[in-house]
Structure 1
């Protein structure tokens, strides 16, 4: 058995998608690598996802499926992000309680979208293991989707935003099948971090997202929705590097590995500013995400926030505080401003919007850095790589509190703190601010970035 295998004894579920054999260990059942769409190869590459037909034979769901990531963005990443070979990259994993309790009925579901800048990332990360959610009566689903050129390149003759279309199809699969795993298809929360959090906001803003999920959580997500012309300039440069025309046929003649490596090489040459992600102007994103949020998804409660430092750590606490007060950091421009803008866009949403801010400074990362909140929200401080990122003694009590807040939201509870509207002095829950209680409801956390935001 290796790190991609689920531990335990076989356990079988009969779902509309077919017979699926996972593993049960202790109080947790895991069903990994379940294909929700046909493999995006051959003529299906650069095409909208095709629903997977009913599995003709019992499916062995004992190990993580293939990942869209073939080449990691960096040699070392904060989150362990394994790359797993194979063609069936459009797969999902389910972690559920070991036994269904008929007295409490079907359980709420959280569908998790991994980050990675829309270029990389892996749903097989041990930081995304849903065992603590299963322990607390939540079915956790992790989803793989196409990345980079294969998922988000605006190529002529190709429908845009294929990665988002993958996610919508995965949500359809969950709606049709999750009851067989003990989940409630009428209580689905879509959640994600970084690019995954941005994808959540994009889906929430889309006229196509309605009815597929009932709550939403965006951790360190931004309002990404680029211009297709800018992306095409990138594709021209990429084509020259690969020696092919920047077309569906040209890129189709190169492997996913070759394209991902070329994208990363270009990104390094561009100082890390190279981005492929959702594009505005199609049926999924007809308008920019912020504009869509002012219209769509108002019946979906939203929890969102950011870390205090994101990509601006490393300095002394006083220096970080001064830069944050000015509101001019990358952290503020990309992440914290998105929280204020989203709250403003949704200020009339009946379902409500709530803000949080993660403030605990990792001694290893030099601040409340990007991704540092994930082991707390997932309550997996014992997972591989956590000690390297957070040090040997991250506060377990903070993980207990943050995880409980997220579980309560997924279960359908409104957060204990007041709603946000995008105005100055908006309330937020702070987690782990030095010198304060582990959790503290406060106001004004997002004011430096909110001042630059006009109400929608």
Structure 2
């Protein structure tokens, strides 16, 4: 697998055939390399099949087709996420400083799994460009995977967790091919944000996957908890709405567009003129979680993420985990006039808080406007409390856990919202749409802090502060300036033991 070079292009031979990428400033990009056969026809609801070999040199100059078939229609979508048509949606992108350089040992590798609630998102986002990581000596791979019902929907005669199987096959491709791109297959860090952050924590508990990576970075990840019973109920409902049998053959009958429509309806994302209460969908999200996503099937995924971690699954892998301070405050921004005319305590109780917890939460968040209070409570329940639970579940693990908070308040929104940390993680603060969330002059020192910690963790396994379980529960708070504090998630401890209905 010896690479060859031209002035503009770089060629690498993979296990399936040669690919041609393009040189950029200081690195080469190989885009849209298929790691699996297109999941269409008989392969649509099947375990992914490795891509068959091809003759000649395959161009890898443009991003491949994406599972996301249309741009999400939501004000909550912040990251630019191109939707690219085509059937060969199981592909990946490799960014490398120099595939031609001869080394005794390859460079460390970052494999990125994008977010989007497991129903949306695109690996072709300019926010996931690996150029800055290449500059700092890290080969970067971003992968696509089946989304929504195709990736995670329950079908009795099809494998569960097809999207998870896609992640695993992509990681096997990295194991078998990344050396040809200058990477070291024994030094792979998997990372992701939001759904992608949940994905990498899921993979940490999957025995079939753990030999494929060394370390894990989870940004704003939500642990897997969805049960097989919940998945079956959603799958049967979608089949019923489609008017087909709840089988692989029956669910292959509706068009892709129709399945997307039904998927949105089953997930409670369809618009309804009578739904003017912003609390209801948030309460559903807090109570039930995401309708489509990894399922605890007891086979591939042994148990809920936090429980599996308590049992020691993945305890030999170092983990860097954290989230932003105000993840979902945007979900209620400007919604004050639409909130029910109820006391704040009653609003929190509708979101699942007991009267006692509602009272305690109000006491510690006094003075917040109702819309901010509700958004912060949702942020704390869905993202910040699970971060604390994950850190504590790994107490005593053989490998350490580092915890962070992204606390920098955007001059545009006034808070540290969901996805705001991605441009700083990838150090792409001049990329498309970053100014919309970070202003015209995002702080370069903050990008250096966040990106630098990621590089240090990927390269050396040491992001630069004391691990969580080393004594004082130290947390790095990324801000201007960044600081380290003790027990940085203490404010959400009162929410840790709220019963889950999942």
TM-score over 0.5 for the alignment? yes
| CA deviation after TM superposition for structure 1 residue 402, in Å | 0.8
State the match for 2:258 in structure 1: 258
Instruction: Confirm or deny that 1:407 pairs with 2:455.
Output: yes
Once the 2 structures are TM-superposed, how far is the Cα of residue 235 of structure 1 from its aligned partner?
A: 2.8
Partner of 1:3: none
CA contact (8 A) 2:224 2:296 kept: no
CA distance in 2, matches of 1:355, 1:363: 25
2:343 is matched with which residue? none
CA offset at residue 357 of structure 1? Answer: 0.2
The structure-2 alpha-carbon separation of the partners of 1:354 and 1:246, relative to structure 1 and needing over 3 Å to count, comes to same
1:271 aligned onto 2:314: no
* Structure 1 residue 173 displacement after superposition: 0.4
Aligned residue for 1:184, secondary structure, equals strand
**How far apart in 1 are the matches of 2:240 and 2:228?**
18
CA contact (8 A) 1:80 1:127 kept: yes
Aligned residue number for residue 298 of structure 1: 315
**Is 130-139 or 329-338 further displaced after alignment?**
329-338
Does structure 2 retain, via aligned residues, the 8 Å contact 1:154–1:279? no
Which deviates the most, 65-74 or 97-106? 97-106
Please show how residues 228-243 of structure 1 align to structure 2 within 5 Å: 228-243=228-243
Partner residue in 1 for 2:490: 447
Shift of 1:325: 10
Q: Secondary structure at the match of 1:271?
A: helix
The equivalent of 1:34 in structure 2 is: 33
Deviation at 1:279, TM superposition (A): 0.7
Displacement, 1:289? 1.2
Q: 1:323 to 1:201 in 2, by over 3 A?
A: farther
In terms of fraction of residues, the more helix-rich structure is 2
> Could you tell me how far apart the structure 1 residues matched to 2:154 and 2:30 are?
34
- Give the paired residue count: 442
Using a 3 Å threshold, how does the CA distance of structure 1 residues 293 and 56 change in structure 2: closer, same or farther? farther
Tell me whether 1:287 sits opposite 2:296 in the alignment: no
1:301 and 1:329 map into 2 onto residues whose CA distance is 29
* Residue in structure 2 matched with residue 123 of structure 1 by the alignment: 123
Q: Distance in 2 between matches of 1:244 and 1:282?
A: 28
2:456–2:464 CA contact under 8 A, matched in 1: no
- State the partner residue of 2:71: 72
Q: Which of 383, 393, 396 pairs up with 1:348?
A: 396
Q: C-alpha separation between the residues in 1 aligned to 2:149 and 2:95?
A: 30
Counting only pairs closer than 5 Å after superposition, residues 271-420 of structure 1 correspond to structure 2 as 271=281, 273=285, 275-294=291-310, 295-313=312-330, 314=333, 329-420=377-468
Q: Deviations over 1:328-355 (max 9, x none)?
A: 7111111111111111111111210000
CA displacement at 1:366 relative to structure 2: 4.0
Alpha carbons of structure 1 residues 407 and 318: separation in structure 2 relative to 1, 3 Å: farther
Provide closer, same or farther for how the CA distance between residues 422 and 238 of structure 1 changes in structure 2, counting only shifts above 3 A.
farther
* Offset, 1:264: 2.4
Partner Cα separation in structure 1 for residue 446 and residue 262 of structure 2: 40
Give the aligned partner of residue 184 of structure 1: 184
- Report if aligned partners of 2:153, 2:234 keep a CA contact under 8 Å in 1: no
Call closer, same or farther: CA 1:215–1:263 in 2, change over 3 Å: same
Post-superposition offset of 1:179: 0.3
Deviations 1:84-142 (A, max 9, x none): 11111110000111465546741000000000001110000010011100111100000
Cα contact 1:344–1:422 (8 A) shared by 2: no
After the TM superposition, which of the residue ranges 165-174 and 361-370 deviates more from structure 2?
Answer: 361-370
Contact kept, 8 Å, 1:206 with 1:292, in 2: the verdict is: no
Determine the C-alpha separation between the residues in 2 that align with 1:284 and 1:349.
22
The answer to whether the 8 Å contact 1:355/1:420 transfers is yes
CA RMSD of aligned residues (A): 2.6
Looking at structure 2, the residues matched to 238 and 319 of structure 1 have their Cα atoms a distance apart, in angstroms, of 44
Distance 1:38 1:304 in 2: 33
Question: What per-residue deviation string (whole Å, max 9, x for no partner) do you get for residues 188-237 of structure 1?
Answer: 00000000000101000122222110010000001123012223332333
* TM-score normalised by the chain length of structure 1: 0.91
Aligned equivalents of 2:59, 2:132: Cα separation in 1: 24
Paired residue secondary structure (2:37): coil
> Greater shift after overlay, 361-370 or 377-386?
361-370
CA distance in 2: counterparts of 1:188 and 1:310, whole angstroms: 28
Distance 2:368 2:8 in 1: 49
User: Deviation of residue 324 (structure 1)?
Assistant: 9.6
Question: 1:323 deviation in Å?
Answer: 10
Of residues 196-205 and 321-330 in structure 1, the stretch that sits farther from structure 2 once superposed is 321-330
Structure 2 length normalisation: TM-score? 0.83
The question of 1:223 aligning with 2:226 is answered no
Contact 1:324 1:332 (8 Å CA) reproduced? no
Q: Specify the SS of the correspondent of 1:291.
A: helix
Contact 1:188 1:214 in 2 (8 A): yes
Alpha-carbon separation, structure 1, partners of 2:51 and 2:460: 31
Task: Name stretches of at least 5 consecutive residues in structure 1 with no aligned partner.
Answer: 1-7
**Structure 1 residue 445: Cα displacement:** 1.9
